Chains A and B, each alone.
Chain A
Amino acid sequence: AQTVTQSQPEMSVQEAETVTLSCTYDTSESDYYLFWYKQPPSRQMILVIRQEAYKQQNATENRFSVNFQKAAKSFSLKISDSQLGDAAMYFCAYRMYSGGGADGLTFGKGTHLIIQP
């Protein structure tokens, strides 16, 4: 079974600084997808960024970027120019490749990100 590990239960960063959230995963598959979701106090799950395992290029979305190391099974999220609105729980998630789009996401336990003004 696939597992996702987020080793940092909580991280704190000053506003406008850069922070990196760690995620490692375990899988025997070669094709899969990785995601970062954000859950603010409203509890809504919001997709931040996704990465296809077959793509060597790291995904970026504005201030959010990932460092995907397939051999190390590592998928970290970097948030640049942190803003107060970035404060939330961040979940790393894995989904295996499936032609029919089957299977749900496997989530890590989450990292609580605090932004200090």
Chain B
Amino acid sequence: DSGVTQTPKHLITATGQRVTLRCSPRSGDLSVYWYQQSLDQGLQFLIQYYNGEERAKGNILERFSAQQFPDLHSELNLSSLELGDSALYFCASSVGQAIEQETQYFGPGTRLLVL
């Protein structure tokens, strides 16, 4: 158990809908990262937040957005869903402060199926 929690574990929805994925980082971690794992694209970095602020952006679509709240949990919002958005979405967290501790620990993932 990495200490990172994600809810829900599974999500089934229809095209055009909007969903929210939730992540709670490990205790003491200030950075949260979101990744998408799909058969087509492999594992892709989407976005990073540090202590409530966006720090880095990867291959995140404009239909997707994220935020990190004062209690450090994060939410990834996916809207106007398409079939191709079906994937496993991971959240990871790290201390985000000292380089020697900059290892990302992954949550169990949320499996999204868009029908």
Write out the residue numbers on chain A whose beta carbons fall within 8 Å of the beta carbon of B95. 101
CB within 8 Å for A104 and B56 given contacts A97-B99, A110-B42: yes
Stretch at the interface among A14-22, A42-50, A64-72, A79-87: A42-50
Q: What's the interface size class on A, roughly?
A: 20 to 34
A interface, over-half SS: loop
B20 on the A face (CB < 8 A):
no
Contacting pair A109 B42 (CB below 8 A): yes
Q: Which residues of B contact A61 (CB under 8 A)?
A: none
- Among A42, A50, A104, chain B packs the most CB atoms within 10 A around the CB of A104
B88–A102 touching, CB < 8 Å: no
Contacts of A104 in B (CB 8 A): 33, 35, 45-48, 56, 58
Task: Give 18 new A-B contacts, CB below 8 A, not counting A105-B33, A105-B35.
Answer: A42-B108, A43-B88, A43-B109, A44-B108, A44-B109, A46-B2, A99-B99, A101-B31, A101-B50, A101-B94, A101-B97, A102-B50, A102-B56, A103-B45, A103-B56, A104-B56, A104-B58, A110-B42
Q: B residues touching A (Cβ–Cβ < 8 Å)?
A: 2, 31, 33, 35, 42-48, 50, 55-56, 58, 88, 90, 92, 94-97, 99, 102-106, 108-109, 111
8 A-B residue pairings within 8 Å (CB atoms): A44-B109, A47-B103, A100-B55, A101-B55, A101-B99, A104-B47, A104-B48, A110-B42
Binding site for B on A (CB under 8 A): 33, 35, 37, 42-47, 50, 91, 95, 97, 99-110
